[in-house]
Structure 1
């Protein structure tokens, strides 16, 4: 009997990708015994300020640079190549066809999962794959658990939960530090830093 593959999906603007994204992906891969994690940089996300986004192709390239040394990580251009607004439901439908014999796990931050009812086609989203909510610094775990419990009962779907050791690194923090001419060393990979410097992004 052929083993069903377990595929992690990690979406985000990755503007830029940083060490926190990589830690969440690796911790999730290990805990949930995933065969691989696919990073999917968003193209034109519906809930983000697009004026602060660098081009999708550059975010895609930086994601490759940051993940290339981990054999379990891969990067998809499924959204960066899409014309128009990128909705998670459209991406998951496509991936469900490509990986029809696999089990999909969508990895996201606890803050995003608490906002999932504002996403397009929430119920269908929760039916397509298993959602994994990773905690981030600054969130009340009791409140997160309470809200996730409400979602599970409302949609009759299991949402897995993963506690990550506190790490106060964010893309917005990196962009701010670059603007202020401060170092971002160790906040992301050297290859990503070199790419940002070469392209003069976030100045």
Structure 2
């Protein structure tokens, strides 16, 4: 089996996330993409994040109907900070014969040396990097090559078209009472409205 974990705050999840998941599913011939909403992400402790159960509900709505997409509450049920190395160790322990991939943006690749226990992360998965705006490809390729040499592990750059959408942009539009339904998977806007999210704030 080949499975990928797609972690993120998903606050809110948008069609850019779904696009990435499908590209990974098809390009890597995956059996499953597991969406993993962060519980307490260490890099966002200073930023307000929507309650875990609401973000979980938005992701559940977004992936409804896709048999090869699933959602895990592993990190949001954890009492500790959401460290990637711990998540990957646990999932590898549960399914030792699964080939694991972990989806991250190119921004994460460029700051990977700041992550906790990188060697454990790379021992427990193949890192798959998707594009984001604002990064020169020469710099990305150099970082990929340096990390592969340093840790003796393969890192995959996911060849895909870029949908330049951000959760921050969506929250700003909602706070300005602008339409966002074209940026969100079906059902997500209903959850946003149900909990009155992102009004009068960015």
Same fold judged by TM-score > 0.5? Answer: yes
Q: Which residue of 2 aligns with 1:135?
A: 131
Match 2:4 to one of 8, 19, 43 = 8
Moved more, 58-67 or 48-57: 48-57
Report the counterpart of residue 66 of structure 1 in structure 2: 62
Structure 2 partner of 1:174: 170
How do 1:137-176 residues align onto structure 2 when only pairs under 5 Å count?
Answer: 137-176=133-172
Corresponding position: 1:79 with 2:78 = no
In the superposition, the TM-score normalised over structure 1's length comes to 0.95
| Structure 2: gaps spanning 5 or more residues | none
- Corresponding residue for 1:126? 122
Q: Which runs of 4+ in 1 moved over 2 A?
A: 49-52
Report whether the alignment pairs 1:30 with 2:30. Answer: no
Q: TM-score normalized by structure 2?
A: 0.95
Aligned to 1:197: 193
Deviation at 1:50, TM superposition (A): 5.0
Structure-2 separation of matches of 1:199 and 1:50? 22
Shift of residue 141, structure 1, vs aligned partner: 1.5
Separation in 1, partners of 2:68, 2:45: 31
SS at 2:43 equivalent: coil
Any idea what SS the aligned residue of 1:104 has?
A: strand
CA RMSD of aligned residues (A): 1.1
How many residues matched? Answer: 199
Task: Please list the CA deviations of residues 68-105 of structure 1 after superposition, one character each: whole Å capped at 9, or x if unmatched.
Answer: 12111000000010112111111111100111111000
